[in-house]
Chains A and B, each alone.
Chain A
Amino acid sequence: MELTLWTYEGPPHVGAMRVAASMEGVHYVLHAPQGDTYADLLFTMIERRPSRPPVTYTTFQARHLGRDTAELVRETVAAAYERHRPQALLVGEACTAELLQDQPGSLAANMELPVPVIALESGAYSRKEGFGASEAFYQLVRGLAGPAAEAAGTERAGGEAPRANLLGPTSLGFRCRDDVREVTGLLEALGVTVNVVAPLGATPDDLRRIPEADFNICLYPEVARTACEWLQRHLRQPMVTTVPLGLGATRDFIREVGEVAGIDTAAAAADADARMAWYSRSVDSNYLTGKRAFIFGDATHAVAAARIAHEELGFTVVGLGTYSREHAREVRRAAKAYGVEPLITDDYLEVERRVAEATPELVLGTQMERHIAKRLGLPCAVISAPAHVQDFPARYAPNMGLEGANVIFDTWVHPLMMGLEEHLLGMFKEDSEFSADAPSHLETTAAPAAAGAEEASAAAAEPAAEAPQGAGVQWTADAEAELRKIPFFVRGKARRNTERFAADRGIATITVETIYDAKAHFSR
């Protein structure tokens, strides 16, 4: 058992739902108890989808348990097919149904429906949402594009534009809707035609046309890498693996598309520019240099964010991690490049501990890191799913390509400006209260003051990042006062460094002198 307050990913059947809900003409029959229909509202509320997800649930209850449930599966499959007349049917089970072992997939396959029936293995007690989405997409591609591979062939008239499939965008994916538009525009400018976008917006017939493309673009590896690798092995369709998140990555993406498509894109890559490049070079952005950023999210967005933070905004990456274990290797490699310890975990308390330890000035993460940052009084921007309703915006807000780079610049810098404002407010407030002997943990109560009172009390209940950690090391009143003159967003780091410095040298009492000794020591 695992104590879970928050889960970064849902169960695997929610991943399969995301694939089904992304597509047209696919229906998903899910063997699940009454109540599991809650998942519908992820789509209807968070993504504000105007139609029900194409999912029929068996919604069994206690009175169905026993031999009834298999019959219920057959009835539900028959009714769902009759009503929705899908072109392909996914059949799977949620965690409770997995325990009943009704084998809904093979039950449905034996019903001889006139459409492909794709049975999904669940693994609900060992796998999660990302795997569920990847597996459902892979099975669909394999089931539909596989047999069509030979018939579709690759005979194209000479001189025809190279064609690519954009694979991976899904419903409830982070900014997928606009990323697809941005990347499609980028490819068109290069003279590459988009053949099929899938699963988002695709039909089963579209999946059958996947073999007609010259190559695949694996836009979201968490969903599409398994399918892309299979297509590469079995259909000899090469794949583009660079994800165009950030200006540099977009340039690399253009180059790689050129190599794979056999066209010259060197000039296009060199010309690719976004306003963010000038914005970042402008003197306004000088103060961004060396800002300490902690990054956490799905592997793709986390790795891309680290590169953007380091190369394009001049931040220092002080933490890098992911919850997607299947893609941990890339994160480990990137973490090594930035000289930080990779964090591979889906335990939010572990992430919170690591954020507190790293004492960053900016947290780039998921919806959960937003809450962690709020609690610790740190600026934060969301870079990856899981995200809440505000990160499914009405406006055009891609993260990929050139406009994506612009969006990212604004999104990431915005909380920092706020942080600076907050810091100025804090300084003036502190000045006027200097004689009033402010409490030593003023920073923990002051920082979240803008947030709701609830968050404030929650933050006060637990020692925050800046609370003294050094065992046995005492601070003199003067030293505490001096520490409070340091801007609050670097104060945690200063406190930690000073305590480490003192502990290493056996200094029992930290004075003003010790602070400056430590400062000099660490600035080398």
Chain B
Amino acid sequence: MSRSSGSGLQQCPAAGEGRDGILQEQGQRQVFCGLTSIVWLHRKMRDAFFLVVGSRTCAHLLQSAAGVMIFAEPRFATAVLGERDLAGMADCNDELDRIVGELLERRPEIRNLFLVGSCPSEVIKLDLDKAAERLTAAHEGGVRVVHYSGSGLETAFTQGEDQCLTSLAARLPAKTDEAPSLIVLGTLADVVEDQFRRLFDELGIGPVAFLPPRRSDELPPVGPGTRLLLAQPFVGEATRALIRRGAERIEAPYPLGVEGTLQWLRAAAEAFGVEQERVDEVTAAPVARAREALARQGERLRGRRITFLPDSQLELPLARFLAAECGMEPVEVAMPYYDRELHGAEREALGEGVRLVEGQDLEAQLDRLRADRPDLTVCGLGLANPLEAEGLLTKWSIELVFSPIQGFEQAGDLAELFARPLVRRETLRV
């Protein structure tokens, strides 16, 4: 039930509709494909190269998404399919071998090459798994070649990272003992990763590995005794792949905001048999700092109504954080996919009274948005300026994937990302 009473919406879901009271929507989708995740993954893994096998559109997407970064130190490229390639499959494999050869000659420092599948490569059924095996054998000892899909057919935005991590999960060495260890799953900014590492050290939790790693050869062993702590809500496939290899997931909310981070650490501490008093002791100072920073931003956000259009799967935990810790009122929270295992607890924490939507039918959703007229709309860059021009205030969503937002020290920054458009609107006299 929407809090925007009297908006006269026919599509507002009744409680219990769909799974977990979530409306299923189909139609035109305004989301990125999984290839976009290369833009941050290539910065995280410094010895990896991402070669998309696709069309000019894929190359165009990457350079549009990467903006000016493409020339800084590009560790991604596209093998653009031409008409000749579509004619004969055998030629296609030869061509790929030639291009990979050229590429590795140019970039001898690359240790890990990801062959990233795209819509065109999947439609013509180019077997990139086999190509990856063949190329790994051909460049034996030098470079590992792995395939995953970042196509729009299979993945939306952050799911590209999930597919990449799943391809890594298969390659983690098997654990030789059953001693406890921790894998933190999902890309975090380096600064956030370092903060968490210090906290785990102080709590006596370890050994801790972060996946994806900073260097692709720093792959932690996995097996019985390995605990998984999810730092991102979009790593479902990778989680299941690691569970199949004997790892065990620690149930926790995502480390967004003070409470989210605290519960995340508590869950880890409990799994490692660390006293909760010890957690309180270790986190007391950062929690106090974070609450203070948050309080300042919270004033600007309290009572404001917010809608999320689907983008990254961060929508549920972000809405939970903004509602619980900043006093915002979520109106509609839409997500590209709902994964009960990964999002169920966040969905429950959000409570009732929020319209939840899985998938998208763009025009219908925009009609609801215009009827709701929330104070803030979280959406992609294709919609942000047009909605601003309609008088709807927006927060562009990609920034939430590109900024350090997790953990105590970033709780204030995270709230500030949402407060900034409101402050700006109040400041401007143009």
Contacts and interface: CB of A to CB of B under 8 A. Distances in A.
Interface of A: 1-7, 9-11, 13-14, 33-42, 44-45, 48-52, 56-62, 65, 76, 79, 83, 94-96, 99-100, 124-126, 128, 371, 374-375, 388, 452, 454-455, 457-458
A455 B73 CA distance: 8
A83 B156 CA distance: 26
Nearest to A49: B385
A49 to B, nearest CB: 7
Given A41-B381, A61-B153, 6 more contacts: A1-B82, A35-B32, A52-B383, A60-B153, A83-B363, A126-B82
6 contacts: A4-B78, A4-B80, A35-B31, A45-B385, A52-B383, A96-B57
Nearest to B60: A10
Nearest to B103: A3
Contacts of B72: 452, 454-455, 458
A8 B33 CA distance: 21
A41 B120 contact: no
A124 to B, nearest CB: 6
Contact of A10 (B34, B57, B99, B154): B57
B55 A96 contact: yes
B83 A126 contact: yes
A371 B64 CA distance: 15
A375 B56 contact: no
B285 interface: no
A320 to B, nearest CB: 23
Contacts of B428: none
Residue with the greatest number of chain B CB neighbours at <10 A, chosen from A62, A128, A455: A62
Interface in B79-93: 79-83, 85-86, 92
Given A41-B380, A95-B120, A125-B86, A11 B77 contact: no
A517 B154 CA distance: 65
B55 A124 contact: yes
Contact of B152 (A36, A48, A83): A36
Given A41-B381, A126-B82, A35 B56 contact: no
B336 to A, nearest CB: 9
Residue with the greatest number of chain B CB neighbours at <10 A, chosen from A4, A49, A452: A4
A51 B366 CA distance: 13
Contact of A52 (B63, B124, B151, B382): B382
B153 A50 contact: no
A197 to B, nearest CB: 23
Interface string B28-42: 111111111000000
Contact of B386 (A1, A6, A51, A458): A51
A511 B21 CA distance: 82
A195 B334 CA distance: 47
Nearest to A100: B123
B105 to A, nearest CB: 11
B28 A7 contact: no
B82 A38 contact: no
Interface of B: 28-36, 53, 55-57, 59-61, 63-65, 67-68, 70-74, 77-83, 85-86, 92, 95-96, 98-99, 102-103, 119-120, 122-124, 151-154, 156, 363, 380-386, 388-389
A50 B386 contact: yes
B29 A59 contact: yes
B426 to A, nearest CB: 21
B383 A34 contact: no
Please report whether the interface of chain A is mostly helix, strand, loop or mixed according to DSSP: mixed
Contacts of B31: 34-35, 37
B30 A50 contact: no
Contact of B55 (A3, A41, A100, A125): A125
B77 A457 contact: no
A44 B386 contact: yes
A454 B79 CA distance: 25
A2 B80 contact: yes
A125 B29 contact: no
A4 B32 CA distance: 20
Contacts of B57: 10-11, 13-14, 36, 94-96, 124
Contact of A5 (B74, B81, B383): B74
Residue with the greatest number of chain A CB neighbours at <10 A, chosen from B72, B383, B384: B72
Contacts of B385: 44-45, 48-50
A128 B53 CA distance: 18
A99 B82 CA distance: 12
Contacts of B120: 95-96, 99
Contacts of B382: 37-38, 40-41, 44, 52
Contact of B81 (A1, A41, A42, A454): A1
A51 B56 CA distance: 26
A34 B71 contact: no
Nearest to B160: A35
A43 to B, nearest CB: 8
Nearest to B76: A5
Contacts of A36: 33, 57, 61, 152
Nearest to B121: A96
Contacts of A128: 56
The 3 A-B pairs at the shortest CB distance, nearest first, are namely: A35-B33, A35-B152, A40-B382
Nearest to B86: A125
B56 A4 contact: yes
A176 B10 CA distance: 44
A60 B123 CA distance: 12
B119 A96 contact: yes
B29 A37 contact: yes
Contact of B123 (A2, A49, A56, A99): A99
Contacts of B383: 40, 44, 52
Residue with the greatest number of chain A CB neighbours at <10 A, chosen from B31, B81, B152: B152
A51 B55 contact: no
Given A41-B64, A44-B382, A11 B29 contact: no
A125 B34 CA distance: 22
Given A38-B65, A59-B28, A51 B153 contact: no
B60 A7 contact: yes
A125 B120 CA distance: 10
B154 A62 contact: yes
Nearest to A453: B72
B80 A1 contact: yes
